[in-house]
Structure 1
Amino acid sequence: MSHATVSDASTTSIKLPPGPKWPKFLQGVAYAASRTWTVERMMRRYGDVVTMTLPVFGPAVVVADPQLAKQLFSANTDDVGNIQPNLSRVLGSGSVFALDRAEHRRRRKLLTPPFHGKSIKNYERIFEEETLREAETWPSGTEFETLEPMMRITLNAILRAVFGADGERLDELREIIPPWVTLGSKLAVLPAPSRDLGRFSPWSKLADYRRQYDAVIDRLVEDVRADPDFDSRDDVLALMLRSTYEDGSAMSQRDIADELLTLLAAGHETTASTLAWAFERISRHPDVLAKLEAEAATEDNEYRQATILETQRSRTVIDFAGRHVYSPTFELGEWVIPKGYSVTVAINQMQHRAQDFPDPDRFDPQRFVGNRPPLAFIPFGGGTRRCVGAVFANVEMDVVLRTVLRHFAIEPTTAPDEKPHSRGVAYTPKSGGRAVLRRRATPLSVSSS
């Protein structure tokens, strides 16, 4: 689409950014084949704001300007709301991803307490225990893929945080969730079929996983409600079952099931992917590794946190966040976007802006030491829809990395960088974040800094 200005009934002229004149079908195929490559190519040609036609979302304005992203994220939710369609197609209509406006605000208010403050402190022991449990089977001195072990650590951690238990019922969820997340992640970026494709279709398979999951959740909810210590339990499920909205109403069991599925899916794949990228990155940067090892022998974590932030910046796991225009027109900077359009923020492109991150292709945690991240840094999205589990994820990544650094020596490598691989929604290292770790004879002893 070329630069356009059209008159609207509301007397505000529609003014769309420039964009490719390719047929819509070709734009969709290119974007589906490689979102990152297509958006980079478009922005090199047309600038930081581009009009495109995207698969699933249709006509859209794609933004990589931090000021415009801030304006979008802080806009009135009556004007721009939840992107359509969204992950509720996979996670269920009771998921926070499905909700908008007042309903979304009410749900977030219920979900926030378990993922902040004192609750997070309680989870740190779980993060360390799960890392040490998984690490018992790691080969010492032999290269292996870190992605799958990180998936298991983060899934077990979120399962324990959500259900406050570690029994056979959770074993069933350990069987169901990983293949469900893998399949759901792929289907989430594809258009939903307009008719039933039969019991052998991937959508039917997803529905089968959902039925199995619902049966397990129903039993778990019964167990939790019957617990004599129900009123004092601090796991997420118990908190949800006890919580009420301001009008005194409670979440339905179906909504709770959808929300728990959202936490389990969103709460482990993206965190595990970032951790795998962290091993891929630090094993290729001996200077970074040396600083991390020195810090791991102390109670400090400033450089480790900076390394996590730089990993999130340089190897973007979720590459876009979006909104849907509900008002007749929506003004975004100099542009006027009509109702029905999506506006997506190209997170990867924004986090590689040389204006905000000098030499953006260089892996340099030092850029985050003592500095507040710039507006262009948004690995968890922004505004009212920013990831509710952001603090949980960052503490988890910090504890997992600290635990590994104290118990293993990571061997530097001169191997080529691993390319990003799309799992559907998330981007992971193509070879699984391969690394060589050697078990320390004695773990690093901790001294105060």
Structure 2
Amino acid sequence: MSETTIDKVADDAVGTAFLPPSPRRLPTVLQGLGYALFRRQTIGALTKRYGEAFTLKVPVFGHMVVVTDPALAKQVFAASPEDLGNIQPNLSRVFGPGSVFALDGVEHRRRRKLLTPPFHGKAMKNYEKIVEEETLRESASWPQGREFETLEPMMRITLNVILRGIFGADGAELEKLREVIPPWVTLGSRLAVLPTPTRTYGRWTPWGRFAEYRRQYNLAIDSLIEVARADPHLDERTDVLALLLRSTYEDGTPMSRSEIGDELLTLLAAGHETTASTLAWAFERISRHPDVLATLVAEADTDGGEYRAATILEVQRNRTVIDFAGRHVYAPYVELGQWRIPRGYSVSVAIGQAHLNRDEFPNPERFDPTRFIGERPNVFAWIPFGGGTRRCVGAAFANMEMDVVLRTVLRHFTIATTSAPPEKWHSRGVAFTPKRGGRVGMHHRGR
């Protein structure tokens, strides 16, 4: 059988499963190493060879069908959670069993219903001032007239924004979180794509350090929850911690302390690294496209924001930070296009490859914000936040944050353009960042 022939897998429950082609000439161990260590390059090469779908065996997830076509992505995201549910294993092994990443079905829908209000509608306006304040505070120390990495400053801005938005106050516990969260996120991003050992093997091992960061986080969170519960004005507070403490499920039961801790950690991590990484890519992109930068600067001096919003959409497409969205087959089988995927397999939507689809995005390698002017993207082709019932609950918050940060910087700084080659991609495990940290040169406007 040639490697391009449809794989046929006998399965007692479903008869015959028809799987997309797999690189049979590539040993399983090399498939796994390629996916774990060079995921973007491996998926790109296999997409060129096999097209819309192919099958791999990879670390952590086992047998996986990877789909790259927006039409197949639509089928994945529109499928019933009972058929195509939460990926296994999932990020709950990083964030904890109380995280929304751990939940499926009815429990997942109940939790999302609790988490949605703080990140939509009027609540968003409360955060815009915080984003602007944190951007101005961080940018006050930026070097003038010479290049610097924007990734770390963006990490500090997004962390401080989410800390203030979640807890609504400052103090020793928040300082502790500022100390613990950055190394925890960096380490967790790398460990998330590796198999979990049965034990930590000591405090000096990666998993031992990870467990110690979590212990320190739990101590800080316990103290913050106690203070919040004792606050006589808790019912008037708009921060996320207060909202979660006041929230109840439909049967009237509140979230447990461990659920709150896991969920807050999820919001801190998920709302921190990915947004900062996208902002670093935004500065890398616009500094290499003078026409885009000039249009952004002119718009920033007005009340407009259409071109800036389009630029953010294009950065998320052209420099995708999270490159896959996974599901697990729970039904006896799931049909995707011409394929029939059996129970126990994972299905991964290759987001980065979907963003390069030429039918949806003509000349996809070109960085061109005008492709989104006056036209919203196809929600199954432009998918940086995933899709379906598991689409990122903080997507609107993240886009607002990026918009305000970019607007504030453009209004207060002149960004130098460069003819340097594009920065290469760097994998942090889960997220992809600019290899040199999104280096740009800036100076205060008018100086």
Query: TM-score scaled by structure 2?
Result: 0.97
Question: How far apart, in 1, do the equivalents of 2:428 and 2:362 lie?
Answer: 29
Q: CA deviation at 1:12?
A: 4.8
Question: How far apart, in 2, do the equivalents of 1:224 and 1:90 lie?
Answer: 25
Unaligned 5+ residue runs, structure 1? Answer: 443-449
Residue number among 383, 386, 392 corresponding to 1:381 in the alignment:
386
For residues 324-343 of structure 1, the aligned pairs below 5 Å read 324-343=328-347
Q: CA deviation at 1:11?
A: 4.8
Question: How far apart, in 1, do the equivalents of 2:331 and 2:391 lie?
Answer: 22
Residue number among 179, 184, 191 corresponding to 2:195 in the alignment:
191
Question: How far apart, in 2, do the equivalents of 1:26 and 1:428 lie?
Answer: 24
CA distances 1:335-373 after superposition (whole Å, capped 9, x unpaired): 111111000000000101111111111110000101120
Residue 366 of structure 1 aligns to a residue in which SS?
helix
Aligned to 1:253: 257
Question: How far apart, in 2, do the equivalents of 1:291 and 1:172 lie?
Answer: 41
Kindly provide the amino acid, as one letter, of the partner of residue 6 in structure 2: H
- Say whether 1:87 aligns with 2:91: yes
Aligned to 2:425: 420
- Point out 4+ residue stretches in structure 1 off by more than 4 angstroms: none
Aligned to 1:447: none
Aligned to 1:299: 303
Moved more, 394-403 or 167-176: 167-176
CA distances 1:174-223 after superposition (whole Å, capped 9, x unpaired): 00000000000000011111344223211011000001000000000111
Q: CA deviation at 1:3?
A: 2.0
Aligned to 2:216: 212
Aligned to 2:436: 431
Residue number among 14, 17, 20 corresponding to 1:14 in the alignment:
17
CA distances 1:266-313 after superposition (whole Å, capped 9, x unpaired): 001000000000000000000000000000011110000000000000
> RMSD of the TM alignment (CA)?
1.1
Residue number among 353, 357, 363 corresponding to 1:353 in the alignment:
357
Question: How far apart, in 2, do the equivalents of 1:116 and 1:129 lie?
Answer: 20
Question: How far apart, in 1, do the equivalents of 2:288 and 2:200 lie?
Answer: 48
- 8 Å CA contact 2:7, 2:22 repeated in 1: no
Aligned to 2:399: 394
Question: How far apart, in 2, do the equivalents of 1:7 and 1:294 lie?
Answer: 62
Question: How far apart, in 2, do the equivalents of 1:196 and 1:303 lie?
Answer: 48
- Say whether 1:3 aligns with 2:34: no
CA distances 1:202-246 after superposition (whole Å, capped 9, x unpaired): 101100000100000000011111111111101000000000000
Question: How far apart, in 1, do the equivalents of 2:335 and 2:272 lie?
Answer: 36
- Say whether 1:315 aligns with 2:343: no
Q: CA deviation at 1:5?
A: 2.3
Distance 1:92 1:11, change over 3 A: closer
- 8 Å CA contact 1:411, 1:437 repeated in 2: yes
Question: How far apart, in 1, do the equivalents of 2:332 and 2:180 lie?
Answer: 43
- Say whether 1:144 aligns with 2:148: yes
- Say whether 1:29 aligns with 2:33: yes
Query: TM-score scaled by structure 1?
Result: 0.97
Aligned to 1:221: 225
Identity %: 67
Residue correspondences, number = 442
- 8 Å CA contact 1:12, 1:329 repeated in 2: no
- 8 Å CA contact 1:19, 1:42 repeated in 2: no
Kindly provide the amino acid, as one letter, of the partner of residue 59 in structure 2: P
